[in-house]
Structure 1
Amino acid sequence: MDWGFIGVILAIIFFILMLIVTIKYRRVKKLVWSYETKKLIGIGSDSPPELRLMFGGEQVSDVYRTNLIVVCTGSESLRKNDVTEEITMHFKGAKILRSPSIVRQSNDANEITTDTDTIDDDFDVKIDFIYLDYNDGAVVEVLHTKYSELSCSGNVIGVRTIKHKEGYKSYRAGFRESIRWRDSILPFLLILAFGFPILIAPAFSDESIASLWEKFGMIVSLATGMLLTTLVFGPLATAFSLMASFPKWSVIKG
């Protein structure tokens, strides 16, 4: 048994674990946002010209509902004084039909509030708070017409960027719905890059495998096993991650 080779492998594993622990527990400020948009009603191109759609006494062609979520995901709290530029959601090309409402909030003590603004016929939603601890935030419901683009701007001291995080759903998503097979590609490439050299070592160190074809067959078998394993466990890990990526309080309906 090659104890030197085993020692190198254990050292690499220990280094990776230490790196994960260091990254996970370092003090850092993070703020993420996401959204879910659903069309509630609208007039199609084949609708008769006499058909009119009214909302609050105003004629519109469609009505959409967007649930915005803002969450503090860092280990360090965010304070109102940290915000040097208002956190603003830009609904480009849309008109907000009524004042935004907070439908879910992690803690009333956060005192999260919303406001609207209009710049060159583009409507914005501004979000303010007293403080946000880890996993604190809110879900804001906005009723509006169709937008061409939805973006977020703002500046918080210590936060490099307010990151957009995909995958938010206002309902509790099922396991199957969270599976995305394309997420197997990156794990497979990582395993192939770091694990494959370790796995093929026996094919060249084992003197009983003398034939080149035998070595090639062993390598192909190992690669196939790695691919199948990644295809199965990669999406499953991603599904579990997506299901747990947003706090429980953000679920509006079960």
Structure 2
Amino acid sequence: MLESLMTNPYAWAFLGACTIFSVVFGIWQWYKSKRKKELSCYKNSYTIVKGGKSLLPDLELKYKNEQIQELVITKYAIWNSGNEVLQRSDIVEIKPLQVSCTAENTRILDVKILQESDETNQFVIADVDKEHARIEFDYADPKDGIVIQIMHTGESQDIMVECKIKGGKKVKILNKDKKRKYNKFVENVMVIGLGIMFFIMLFFMLLTILVSIMSMGQKFWESLISVVGSGACVLTMGVTYYKLLKDVYYINIPSGLRKTIGNDEFYK
């Protein structure tokens, strides 16, 4: 039965299709990982005062002698998520790295840096007004970044990080977004499909090893080639599947910034 299954052309055709798919997907992943300049950010917010009511009944807050009716603390982790060093000169002058208010009833009260992965990056809050807070730096290696804390009025969604990189893209926002539902569905289908193919290939590899062991004495080299070939296919598929899982579900915040941002659920 095992030998008949291993000589079944449909079984080998399926294995061939799986291999081709994994190779194509691997090429696509390689294309995605080509040289790129990119900044990513992830935020976490806490509402302290809402509608003039504080979480602590006896707490009264004033800013420059003005009673605070709304106060939100938003933390942003911002880091170099590309694979090239970012220099100060890589940032478009009229589109600097900055925190901005997107609503009329929102204003920035204070911004400070809580954590930086490398002091030599020289991240600084260069300029702050009610609507903007510009962030400057000397350079940032891949995975270098900072965590900033913004005290502001309004809602957390009314604060955003923006920037334009020469030869790159806008800041990549990694928090959950309702607009990603369609893309998320496609990504889930890809994960499930590739997972099924991976376990089927794993089954066929174990089957190949078993048949090869049984016929090892008669066709040693052919059996060895079959084992090595099937193992390579499964390894390729496994690595590809692991990479897909990380890309789809896992937010790769640098380890030095994770604790400061204050959330252990770093999943998309």
From 88, 101, 107, the equivalent of 2:112 is: 101
Output the amino acid matched with 1:247.
P
Residues in 2 aligned to 1:37 and 1:195: alpha-carbon distance in whole angstroms: 35
Residues in 1 aligned to 2:248 and 2:16: alpha-carbon distance in whole angstroms: 33
Residues in 1 aligned to 2:107 and 2:121: alpha-carbon distance in whole angstroms: 28
Determine if contact 2:187/2:248 at 8 Å carries over to the other structure: no
Determine if contact 2:45/2:75 at 8 Å carries over to the other structure: yes
1:197-235 deviations in whole A, cap 9, x for unaligned? 9x9xxxxxxxxxxxxxxxxxxxxxxxxxxxxxxxxxxxx
Range that drifts further, 127-136 or 52-61: 52-61
1:221 corresponds to: none
1:36-69 deviations in whole A, cap 9, x for unaligned? 2211234249xxxxx9642453321122111122
Matched pairs, number: 195
Closer, same or farther: CA 195–78 of 1 in aligned 2, 3 Å: closer
From 160, 163, 170, the equivalent of 2:172 is: 163
The TM-score, its normalising length taken from structure 1, stands at 0.63
Are residue 186 (structure 1) and residue 193 (structure 2) matched? no
- The percentage of counterpart residues that share the same residue type is 18
Determine if contact 1:116/1:123 at 8 Å carries over to the other structure: no
Residues in 2 aligned to 1:97 and 1:194: alpha-carbon distance in whole angstroms: 48
Residues in 2 aligned to 1:157 and 1:16: alpha-carbon distance in whole angstroms: 29
Residues in 1 aligned to 2:253 and 2:248: alpha-carbon distance in whole angstroms: 11
Closer, same or farther: CA 195–108 of 1 in aligned 2, 3 Å: closer
Residues in 2 aligned to 1:194 and 1:248: alpha-carbon distance in whole angstroms: 29
Determine if contact 1:30/1:73 at 8 Å carries over to the other structure: yes
1:133-187 deviations in whole A, cap 9, x for unaligned? 11111111111222472233332112122221116xxxxxxxxxxxxxx998435
Residues in 2 aligned to 1:5 and 1:21: alpha-carbon distance in whole angstroms: 24
- What aligned pairs does 1:41-60 form with structure 2 within 5 A after superposition? 41-42=49-50, 43-44=52-53, 53-55=61-63, 57-60=65-68
Deviation of the 1:11 alpha carbon: 2.4
Closer, same or farther: CA 157–188 of 1 in aligned 2, 3 Å: closer
Closer, same or farther: CA 38–238 of 1 in aligned 2, 3 Å: farther
The TM-score, its normalising length taken from structure 2, stands at 0.60
In structure 2, runs of 5+ residues without a counterpart are 1-7, 177-181, 201-244
Deviation of the 1:80 alpha carbon: 0.5
- What aligned pairs does 1:15-30 form with structure 2 within 5 A after superposition? 15-24=24-33, 26-30=34-38
Deviation of the 1:23 alpha carbon: 2.8
Closer, same or farther: CA 240–155 of 1 in aligned 2, 3 Å: closer
1:227 corresponds to: none
Determine if contact 1:74/1:134 at 8 Å carries over to the other structure: yes
Deviation of the 1:90 alpha carbon: 0.9
Q: Determine which structure has the larger helix proportion and give its number.
A: 2
Residues in 2 aligned to 1:241 and 1:193: alpha-carbon distance in whole angstroms: 15
From 126, 142, 148, the equivalent of 2:150 is: 142
SS in 2 for 1:156: coil
Are residue 89 (structure 1) and residue 99 (structure 2) matched? yes
Residues in 2 aligned to 1:39 and 1:96: alpha-carbon distance in whole angstroms: 14
Closer, same or farther: CA 193–142 of 1 in aligned 2, 3 Å: closer
Determine if contact 2:127/2:135 at 8 Å carries over to the other structure: no
Range that drifts further, 108-117 or 2-11: 2-11
1:6 corresponds to: 15
Closer, same or farther: CA 16–61 of 1 in aligned 2, 3 Å: same
Determine if contact 2:123/2:135 at 8 Å carries over to the other structure: yes
